[in-house]
Chain A
Amino acid sequence: DAMVIQNPRYQVTQFGKPVTLSCSQTLNHNVMYWYQQKSSQAPKLLFHYYDKDFNNEADTPDNFQSRRPNTSFCFLDIRSPGLGDAAMYLCATSRDLGQHYYTFGSGTRLTVV
Chain B
Amino acid sequence: ILNVEQSPQSLHVQEGDSTNFTCSFPSSNFYALHWYRWETAKSPEALFVMTLNGDEKKKGRISATLNTKEGYSYLYIKGSQPEDSATYLCASSPYGGSQGNLIFGKGTKLSVKP
Contact = CB atoms under 8 A, between A and B. Distances in A.
B104 to A, nearest CB: 4
Contact of A97 (B41, B43, B99): B99
Interface residues of B, number: 25
Interface stretch (B13-21, B44-52, B63-71, B72-80): B44-52
Given A98-B32, A99-B31, A45 B43 contact: no
B106 A40 contact: yes
Contact of B93 (A50, A99, A103, A104): A99
B91 to A, nearest CB: 8
Contacts of B28: none
Nearest to B47: A101
A101 B46 contact: yes
A101 B43 CA distance: 13
A94 interface: yes
Most chain A CB atoms below 10 A, which of B32, B98, B100 = B100
A4 B43 CA distance: 9
B26 interface: no
A101 B100 CA distance: 10
A81 interface: no
Nearest to B46: A101
A4 B103 CA distance: 20
Interface residues of A, number: 29
A5 B34 CA distance: 22
B101 A45 contact: yes
A97 B4 contact: no
B89 A57 contact: no
B43 A99 contact: no
Contact of A42 (B31, B32, B100, B107): B107
Nearest to B32: A99
B49 A42 contact: no
A42 B89 CA distance: 9
Contact of B100 (A4, A41, A43, A97): A97
Nearest to B105: A42
A35 B100 CA distance: 12
Interface in B84-103: 89, 93, 98-103
